[in-house]
Structure 1
Amino acid sequence: MRQLTLFLALFITGKLAAQNIREVDICIYGGTSAGVIAGYTAKKMNKSVLVIEPGKRLGGLTSGGLGYTDIGNKYAITGLSRDFYRRIGKHYGRFETWIFEPGVAERTFQQYIKEGGVEVLYQQPILAAKKDGKRITEIQTASAIIRAKMFIDCSYEGDLMAKAGISYTVGREDNSQYGETYNGVQLREKHQFPDGIDPYKEPGKPASGLVWGISPDQLEKPGTGNKKIQAYNFRICLTNEPGNRIPITEPADYDPARYELLLRVVQKLQPKNLSGMLKIDLMPNHKTDINNNGPISTDMIGMNYNYPEADYATREKITRDHELYNKGLLYFIGHDPRMPEHLRKEMLQWGYPKDEYPESGNWSPQMYVREARRMVGAYVMTQANCESKEIVNDGIGMAAYTMDSHNCQRIVVNGMVKNEGDVQIGGFGPYPIAYRSIIPKADDCNNVFVPVCMSASHIAYGSIRMEPVFMVLAQSAAVAAAMAIDNHQSVQEVNVSKLQAFLRQKPLATDARAEILVDNDDSAHVSKKGEWQRETKGAYGPSMFISKSTGSIRYTPEVTRSGTYRIYTYVPKRSDLPSSTQIRLSADGRSARQVSYTPASVKVEGQTSGEWVDLGTINLTKGKKAYVEISSEGKDGEVVADAVLFYPQ
């Protein structure tokens, strides 16, 4: 904080030594996962690029603890975002992996930076943005002035966007604003206190005051908009490997009174293990990604309202408060004598990993900023888009996750403590995200993209705000920025059809052969014999086919570039797979060879859903002669026919 304060003081007093002025084609603010992918893409588009990172570490939350990746449906994740999870998979000896350690993610992002030759300036928070009419001409950081033709704001807070005077909002809209049903105030049962938990320091005595963490605010009418922000926390990496474990000790400013409500919930519910208060997802090498779970957990509800608009010093304090609250929670569970012994013993098995975050005391420097500012751009994504009641034709990426909001406040309702704001509504398939939602209105600015704090209502943002999706949108933004520069256009004038075509033809932003995906829903390339039932749950893409009689499903790829391809078929997590699934592979449409897979070969450990099963390699020539055919002959279980992938070697 002292260093940042000094930078600010020097800037204000005009004493920065010999101003460092940099000029590039594209300036990217925020070295998050999105920022890294945007920088790499822009370099592959032959543009000069500079990434400005306000902190010391690349990758944002993806390298900051969120290793148990929130996806919804892997079909929605394309391009370099998907490539990232395949690079992670290669590290672990797999084709693709969505569960990984923070350090592995950070090193993978550094690979992109090195391969792309992307320059990164660290510890450079933005101080100001200068505009000429509707165009940003430069931004100022603590020690540099960066001039660029195009800017991409990849920060979680939308600081460049705000400094440039672009329209944005904070908080929850009223349901009536966009004709939604899940926005605004929502009192629901998920992550909720059971009835009967007393909110007062002395039970039954309102005069004693409220227990720490409870707001005196009154419950508003359902659907009412307000400026309250869904809770933040840290995605916590711990380990139970004795040789790599640092004990969880009492943190600074520890106050057990902050966890009084946890004691009351434990007394009421008597949980058998830590899952009653912590969502512990296991990672490789005996590590965790711990997230919020239950009525009182790692979410520091109601303590982040000032964060989106705060200055850097205030944000640093809010982040530190969240860190100490989370560390205190872990210590309380393991050491407070009032906690049940079996929970204390279970907690004491865990500690901070010596080999993660060594530069920041073995604790993630990235707080989970689930939502801060959101641009009000050329198009606002809403609940109608998530539910496919409104489908845009300028999609430049997809989302598929549940409409997800964590709790926004903890209040007293009918004499009992209750959480308010948690929403988890799913049941829909992948849907397109509008190009217009990552660009400002023309009256605001014409040379900036905002792929992270993009234009969406609170509840729609809850579905879109996933790290893989941010990377997809950032790649699209970088390609569009390059196109705008080449054609001397504003961001509003970019030809979206050409942008979409480029993203399809060059998913890795290079001339490398693109993979060929044939999904079961692609009727032009899929034919079936026999009776197959269409199911959606657990599928790759909109659906999958389940056999109901003897038959087959044939996938016929359209090969545009000859070469050797490795073939994979997608198998979801299911307990009713047959002992063996028979598959025929043909390169020429005449001769075929037989392959098969067994349930044992579907290694879904290390995955958040299904798995790609390797069927071997095949030499394909240009055209539509080859096929892959999944057969249900002699089945003793439910044969699954979902997506088939032809991956260039």
Structure 2
Amino acid sequence: MIMKSKFKYLTVFLVLAGLMMQTSCKISLVKGKLEASADIIIYGGTSAAIVAAVEAKRSGKSVIVVSPDIHLGGLSSSGLGFTDTGDKSVIGGLAREFYHRVWQHYNTDEAWVWQNKEEYGNKGQGTPAMDGENRTMWIFEPHVAEQVFEDLISEEKIRVDRNEWLDRKNGVKMKEGRIISITTLSGKAYSGKMFLDATYEGDLMASAGVSYHVGREGKDAYGEEWNGVQTGVLHHKHWFQSDISPYIIAKDPTSGLLPRISGEDPGEKYSGDNKIQAYCFRLCMTDHNENRVPFPKPEGYDPLHYELLARSFATGRKDWFEKFDPLPIHKTDTNNHGPLSSDNIGMNYDYPEATYERRKEIIKEHENYQKGLLWFVANDPRVPEDIQKEMQRWGLAMDEFKDNGNWPHQIYVREARRMLGEFVMTENELLKKSPTPKPIGMGSYNIDSHNVQRYVKPDGFVQNEGDIGVSTNGPYTISYSSLVPKKEDCENLLVPVCVSSSHIAFGSIRMEPVFLILGQSAAAAAVLAIDEETTVQEVDYNKLKEVLVAKGQIVE
């Protein structure tokens, strides 16, 4: 027994020693449990998390990424390959390095397996997909992005603990306004000097007692025009352009409402509510037969859920394929488009605060809804023949998401919690009506919210509400103080994803290039806070700005 015990502890010692040599992190046994420590602990597996880790490591700090995700990169590697660039000139630093590495991949002959490079249309959002002059590629396949993130982690020898879920009830240990350690559901503990919450949900932020908001603020909360309920505002094509009956038997209220239509009043215009914009999966489809997997029919499929789409088709709408945005190698990033599409409107309101188990239910419901939608368009006889024939050419990509039935790993959490920090970004800063203090990065994409609810109008017809698209009229700056909690909430936490912003301002800030930018800026601030032995609120902004500019960040 004594020999076995010695052997056991020798084995543990060797494992710990090996990990420390690889990561520069400290690992110890505390009451029989592994406890790891590093200068900076990053919770999340998103694009912001990985870039933040790279910045910390290159700045000479030890770092551990504690990721609930197995696959790294969030939406950037889970289908959102048709990048929402906006003005590419304001994307610098590690964000630009990411897109440069993507360009390096597609600049090889090996990348173009089923398509000649010359055949690819080079279409992008606001910029050509492949920008040879600047050696960047803005449009990419999911697995290419994931490999770039994996390469960064490997090259920098960064420790990433995957499938580690924060114990949201008892897993955050605080002392005198600072996070001391976090513990995951598996029992692993991580202590650090600085912490970053780089999740889409803001779970660490919330568990640490930091103030936050869920839902839409009323118009008057921050003096905004586009916040709150927006009935009658129809900015894109994601609304019913003809009079469509919401009832199971058309025009017969006694037959009951069709699925996914709210029977409640949508609320007074400009008022606030606790509702959030719709989620969906950004699908990677292909029409290349060698790589195509036919759309699966989901369990419990019910065509009634897509009756509104059939009625819309019957009016003559033909724009179903408008957001089949082309990726290289005969693939797409397929996004929501039209009055009833991949956005699962109204079915995600409880997601931000939900338990892990409930979130899994919501995600599965979204998956089944979206799979049913694909099946409906490809197979239901009420779909116009020309649309159905074209749809049958498409399927899921066999070489993507191989361990998940070719379905994206990450649902598009367009909005969840948003921190109430030292400074709240609003549409007024994005529209340059108000100055932005302490800028540490820039955004430029349109202020963009997807639909929030589907309701019955007073005239008895169905309509969607919440879809907004407003130009920012050029790039805008993002405040360092929007990444920082109020000092009384926490002194050593930065939040580069669930930033302190209003609902409508977040509609632009939420783009993946911006999360890459904010991830780097947050990590640079964490490094300075450690070096100066100060709080994140008291970091010398001029020093931070100097560091970021030196590293290629476009600050203003």
Q: Under TM normalisation by the shorter chain, which class is it?
A: 0.7 to 0.9
Corresponding residue for 2:248? 201
CA distance in 2, matches of 1:427, 1:401: 7
Query: What is the aligned-residue RMSD (CA, Å)?
Result: 1.5
- The answer to whether the 8 Å contact 1:76/1:399 transfers is yes
Corresponding residue for 2:420? 376
Choose the corresponding residue for 1:169, options 198, 202, 213. Answer: 213
Which amino acid in the other structure matches residue 223 of structure 1?
Y
Choose the corresponding residue for 2:499, options 450, 454, 459. Answer: 454
More strand by share: 1
Per-residue deviation, 1:78: 1.3
CA distance in 1, matches of 2:537, 2:494: 10
Deviations 1:400-443 (A, max 9, x none): 11111000000000201000111100151111100000000011
Deviations 1:343-391 (A, max 9, x none): 1111111111111000111110100000000000000000110101112
Question: Are 2:278 and 1:235 aligned?
Answer: no
Query: Structure 2 matches for 1:49-88, cutoff 5 A?
Result: 49-88=63-102
Corresponding residue for 2:60? 46
Question: Are 2:146 and 1:103 aligned?
Answer: no
Corresponding residue for 2:530? 485
CA distance in 2, matches of 1:339, 1:420: 25
CA distance in 1, matches of 2:339, 2:320: 13
CA distance in 1, matches of 2:230, 2:320: 27
Corresponding residue for 1:616? none
Choose the corresponding residue for 2:540, options 485, 492, 495. Answer: 495
Corresponding residue for 1:131? 174
State the secondary structure of the residue aligned to 1:181.
Answer: coil
Corresponding residue for 1:274? 320
Question: Are 2:105 and 1:91 aligned?
Answer: yes
CA distance in 2, matches of 1:396, 1:158: 21
Which amino acid in the other structure matches residue 200 of structure 1?
Y
CA distance in 1, matches of 2:470, 2:520: 28
CA distance in 2, matches of 1:365, 1:240: 21
- The answer to whether the 8 Å contact 1:274/1:346 transfers is no
Query: Structure 2 matches for 1:534-545, cutoff 5 A?
Result: none
CA distance in 2, matches of 1:343, 1:195: 19
State the secondary structure of the residue aligned to 2:370.
Answer: helix
Corresponding residue for 1:424? 469
CA distance in 1, matches of 2:533, 2:512: 31
TM-score, normalisation: structure 2? 0.87
Per-residue deviation, 1:301: 0.1
- The answer to whether the 8 Å contact 1:307/1:315 transfers is yes
Query: Structure 2 matches for 1:13-412, cutoff 5 A?
Result: 18-93=32-107, 94=132, 95-127=135-167, 128-143=171-186, 144-187=188-231, 188-189=233-234, 190=236, 191-271=238-318, 274-275=320-321, 279-412=323-456
Deviations 1:190-223 (A, max 9, x none): 3111231001111111111101110011132211
CA distance in 1, matches of 2:361, 2:409: 13
- The answer to whether the 8 Å contact 2:46/2:72 transfers is yes
CA distance in 2, matches of 1:163, 1:429: 36
Instruction: State the identity %.
Output: 49
CA distance in 2, matches of 1:360, 1:252: 16
- Structure whose alpha-carbon radius of gyration is higher: 1
Deviations 1:126-180 (A, max 9, x none): 1121100210001110220111100000000000000000000000000100000
Question: Are 2:507 and 1:467 aligned?
Answer: no
- The answer to whether the 8 Å contact 2:447/2:472 transfers is no
Distance of aligned partners of 1:17 and 1:321 in 2 relative to their CA distance in 1, 3 Å threshold: farther
- The answer to whether the 8 Å contact 1:391/1:431 transfers is no
State the secondary structure of the residue aligned to 1:295.
Answer: coil
More helix by share: 2
Per-residue deviation, 1:247: 1.0
- The answer to whether the 8 Å contact 2:320/2:338 transfers is no
CA distance in 2, matches of 1:393, 1:457: 16
State the secondary structure of the residue aligned to 1:298.
Answer: coil
Unmatched segments (≥5 aa) in structure 2: 1-29, 108-131
Deviations 1:3-48 (A, max 9, x none): xxxxxxxxxxxxx993221111100000100000001111011111
CA distance in 2, matches of 1:249, 1:160: 36
CA distance in 1, matches of 2:176, 2:270: 38
CA distance in 2, matches of 1:204, 1:274: 25
Per-residue deviation, 1:81: 0.4
Which amino acid in the other structure matches residue 140 of structure 2?
F
CA distance in 1, matches of 2:360, 2:547: 40
Which amino acid in the other structure matches residue 415 of structure 1?
G
Per-residue deviation, 1:77: 1.1
Corresponding residue for 1:617? none
CA distance in 2, matches of 1:383, 1:465: 13
State the secondary structure of the residue aligned to 2:74.
Answer: coil
Unmatched segments (≥5 aa) in structure 1: 1-15, 509-516, 518-540, 543-649
CA distance in 2, matches of 1:168, 1:393: 20
Per-residue deviation, 1:327: 0.9
Corresponding residue for 2:17? none
Per-residue deviation, 1:460: 0.5
